[in-house]
Amino acid sequence: MSLTTIDLNGNNIYTDSYDSSDASKSTSGRYDLGKRQPNGNIGTDDTVINSVSIGNANVYGTVQTGLGGTVTMGPNGSIGPTFSSPATSVSQASSDGWIQNGQ
């Protein structure tokens, strides 16, 4: 969460989550890339610029902005679930509910 702009520009950037108390979501309570969960949410009261950018950022969770905030996504970015079909465009992520504005 940020009060101002979030810019996730770079290579190999991921946000995700895991549940150390659930064996199906962790390995002996430790993070396991193969069991990551889509709760790596990011949010700001401002505009999210390049929240998922050309730098291949993948947000396995939601992106939330302040009222009037915008989200931009590069050609290799994604927002949404971890193993099924994450959204690869802002319009798809918005219609799937992975982008939430002004809440």
* In a domain? residue 78: yes
Cα 99 vs. chain centroid, distance in angstroms?
Answer: 9
Q: Domain total for the chain? A: 1
If one counts every other C-beta atom within 10 angstroms of the C-beta of residue 85, the result is: 10
CA distance 74 to 22: 34
Per-residue confidence (pLDDT) for residue 21, from 0 to 100: 96
50 neighbors 72 (Cβ within 8 angstroms): yes
Reported pTM: 0.84
Q: Which domain holds residue 30?
A: 1-97
If one counts every other C-beta atom within 10 angstroms of the C-beta of residue 80, the result is: 22
Whether residue 68 has pLDDT greater than 90: no
* In a domain? residue 103: no
Query: Which residue would you say has higher pLDDT here, 71 or 32?
Result: 32
The residue-averaged pLDDT of 77-85 equals 87
* In a domain? residue 93: yes
